[in-house]
């Protein structure tokens, strides 16, 4: 039996999104930039989706720039701010997604000083520490709303308030917050917020950057001037239609009892398990845990053979496995950081999945220990 428990990586598409995408693909044959009836039909789909998204996240429709996803949204915001200034500081949390860390790494190669602020042992970055790092030459602040590995919610509002008072642009990567926390772009009052459709049951390859009114956006890839000259390229009409149809379709809070039961049963059966960010405020569907003496990647592969799709905290890039930068930033050593597994619940998951996964983890752990000669 196959069980999918990796919804922070991507959430299975909801029916409403699939239908809206299919309808748009079939019915809106024109290019939304074309002036004829077929173009206008496609344009109407985008306009409606823009209004729906804006209403859902509490912003004006004019603030929505559709992108190819969260990665592009983050890149556009960072590029836009930093391409307009000579050099200086950029403050970020040490637990940002690579979609923020990598563009900042590139900025550092162009002379920007990147200051990354570490979280506490619970995986939460203090607002005070972020604020303390802001100096007169700070060009930008980047702070995620929810960490994708641990689910820990970050104190964005306090930092946003300070940035606004100081006139420092701030980007909030809200990709893991959309659909899990109630978002109100206007009241958070940040310059930029990035979103992605596929984390909430929408199509892959579509997202949005919300841009505060009055903030000018410097295009990352100049071209035909779509999205009011903020993001060129023919819009992904089926993707955008699916994105807007997915909004609000999944109530992620419903997975809290399943997640909590999973963690309780796991702790009962494997007492040495350590649940990451257990004492932080977390999104309801996420469980990141470490099994001392185990390798997360090996566990993941064994679980895969048993039909479970979960994630390990370590990242595999160019064939080299790296320990989770989130856990390292929390002060854990390399071995501990490699022993992590992330389970993220979503549509279709039940108590039965939680129980089955615990039992599978017990079996796999016993097998691996026996192979290593540990009783
Ligand atoms: C926090 C966060 N930011 C950005 C991204 C990238 O989003 P996308 O896959 O839409 O490019 C992800 C995806 O895992 C994420 O979790």
My answer on whether 242 and 126 are in the same domain is yes
Mean pLDDT of 359-371: 95
pLDDT of res. 254: 96
Report strand pairing: 320-322 vs 64-67: unpaired
Segment 165-203, tens digit of pLDDT? 999 999 999 999 999 999 999 999 999 999 999 999 999
CATH for 52: 3.40.640.10
For the cut 60, the answer to whether the pLDDT of residue 317 exceeds it is no
Sheet holding 138-144, edge to edge: 64-67, 207-211, 192-196, 170-173, 138-144, 89-93, 113-117
My answer on whether 103 and 59 are in the same domain is yes
Q: Which atom of ligand 1 is nearest to the CA of 69?
A: 10
DSSP state of 26: H
Segment 223-255, tens digit of pLDDT? 999 999 999 999 999 999 999 999 999 999 999
Ligand 1 near 116 CB (within 6 A): no
Active site residue 7: no
Q: How far apart are CA 207 and CA 79, in angstroms?
A: 17
For the cut 80, the answer to whether the pLDDT of residue 321 exceeds it is no
pLDDT of res. 315: 61
Ligand 1 near 202 CB (within 6 A): no
My answer on whether 182 and 331 are in the same domain is no
Specify the DSSP element, H or E, that contains 344: strand 340-344
Specify the DSSP element, H or E, that contains 91: strand 89-93
Q: Which atom of ligand 1 is nearest to the CA of 205?
A: 10
Segment 204-216, tens digit of pLDDT? 999 999 999 999 9
Mutation to probe ligand 1, out of 67, 71, 144, 193 (largest number of atoms < 8 A from CB) = 71
My answer on whether 240 and 258 are in the same domain is no
Ligand 1 near 175 CB (within 6 A): yes
Q: Which atom of ligand 1 is nearest to the CA of 196?
A: 10
Q: Evaluate whether 274 touches 290 at the Cβ level (below 8 Å).
A: yes
For the cut 80, the answer to whether the pLDDT of residue 144 exceeds it is yes
My answer on whether 177 and 326 are in the same domain is no
What separation in Å is there between the alpha carbon of 70 and the centre of ligand 1?
Answer: 5
Short-list 39, 18, 12, CA closest to 27: 39
- Across all residues in the chain, what is the average pLDDT? 96
CATH for 347: 3.90.1150.10
My answer on whether 234 and 293 are in the same domain is no
pLDDT of res. 45: 98
Mean pLDDT of 327-344: 96
Our count of domains for the chain comes to: 2
Strands (DSSP E) contained in the chain are 3-4, 64-67, 89-93, 113-117, 138-144, 170-173, 192-196, 207-211, 274-275, 286-290, 308-309, 311-312, 315-317, 320-322, 340-344
When computed from its CA atoms, the radius of gyration of the chain, rounded to whole angstroms, is 21
My answer on whether 241 and 275 are in the same domain is no
Ligand 1 near 236 CB (within 6 A): no
My answer on whether 327 and 235 are in the same domain is no
Catalytic residue among 11, 59, 92, 316: 316
pLDDT of res. 313: 72
Ligand 1 near 347 CB (within 6 A): no
Q: How far from 71 is each of 197, 269, 276, 322, 328, CA to CA, in Å?
A: 12, 39, 25, 20, 23
Segment 147-171, tens digit of pLDDT? 999 999 999 999 999 999 999 999 9
Number of residues that make up the chain:
375
pLDDT of res. 282: 97
Domain range enclosing 203: 15-246
Bridge partners of 90?
Answer: 114, 140
Ligand 1 near 207 CB (within 6 A): yes
My answer on whether 237 and 333 are in the same domain is no
Longest Cα–Cα distance of the chain, Å, equals 73
My answer on whether 305 and 230 are in the same domain is no
What share of the chain has pLDDT > 70, as a percent? Answer: 98
pLDDT of res. 320: 58
Q: How far apart are CA 312 and CA 339, in angstroms?
A: 8
Short-list 70, 68, 73, CA closest to 234: 68
Banded pLDDT at 91 (limits 50, 70, 90) = very high
Mean pLDDT of 49-68: 98
Q: Which atom of ligand 1 is nearest to the CA of 71?
A: 11
Residue nearest to atom 5 of ligand 1 (CA): 70
My answer on whether 242 and 224 are in the same domain is yes
Segment 304-316, tens digit of pLDDT? 999 999 998 766 5
What separation in Å is there between the alpha carbon of 29 and the centre of ligand 1?
Answer: 29
pLDDT of res. 179: 97
Ligand 1 near 97 CB (within 6 A): yes
């Amino acid at each position: 039996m196959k069980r999918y428990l990796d919804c922070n990586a991507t959430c299975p598409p909801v029916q409403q999104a699939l239908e809206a995408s299919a309808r748009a693909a079939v019915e809106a044959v024109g290019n939304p930039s074309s002036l004829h009836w077929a173009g206008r039909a496609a344009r109407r789909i985008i306009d409606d989706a823009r209004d729906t998204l804006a209403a859902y996240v509490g912003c004006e429709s004019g603030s929505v720039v559709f992108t190819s996803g969260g990665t592009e949204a983050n890149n556009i915001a960072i590029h836009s701010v930093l391409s307009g200034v000579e050099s200086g500081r950029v403050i970020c949390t040490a637990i940002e997604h690579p979609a923020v860390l990598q563009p900042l790494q590139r900025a550092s190669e162009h002379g920007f000083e990147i200051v990354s602020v570490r979280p506490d042992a619970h995986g939460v970055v203090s607002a005070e520490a972020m604020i303390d790092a802001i100096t007169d030459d700070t060009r930008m602040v980047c702070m995620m709303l929810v960490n994708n590995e641990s689910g820990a919610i970050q104190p964005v509002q306090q930092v946003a308030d300070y940035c606004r008072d100081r006139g420092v642009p701030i980007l909030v990567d809200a990709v893991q917050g959309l659909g899990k926390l109630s978002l109100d772009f206007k009241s958070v009052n940040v310059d930029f917020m990035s979103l992605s459709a596929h984390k909430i049951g929408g199509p892959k390859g579509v997202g949005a950057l919300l841009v505060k009114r009055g903030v000018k956006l410097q295009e990352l890839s100049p071209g035909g001037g779509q999205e009011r000259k903020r993001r060129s390229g023919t819009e992904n009409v089926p993707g955008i239609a699916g994105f807007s149809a997915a909004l609000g379709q999944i109530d992620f809070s419903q997975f809290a009892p399943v997640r909590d039961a999973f963690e309780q049963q796991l702790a009962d059966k494997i007492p040495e398990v350590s649940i990451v960010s257990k004492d932080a405020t977390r999104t309801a569907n996420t469980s990141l845990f470490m099994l001392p003496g185990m390798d997360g990647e090996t566990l993941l592969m064994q679980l895969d053979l048993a039909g479970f799709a979960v994630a390990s905290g370590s990242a595999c890039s160019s064939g080299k496995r790296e320990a989770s930068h989130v856990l390292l930033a929390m002060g854990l050593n390399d071995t501990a950081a490699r022993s992590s597994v992330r389970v993220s619940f979503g549509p279709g998951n039940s108590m039965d999945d939680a129980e089955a996964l615990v039992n599978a983890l017990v079996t796999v752990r016993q097998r691996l220990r026996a192979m290593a000669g540990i009783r």
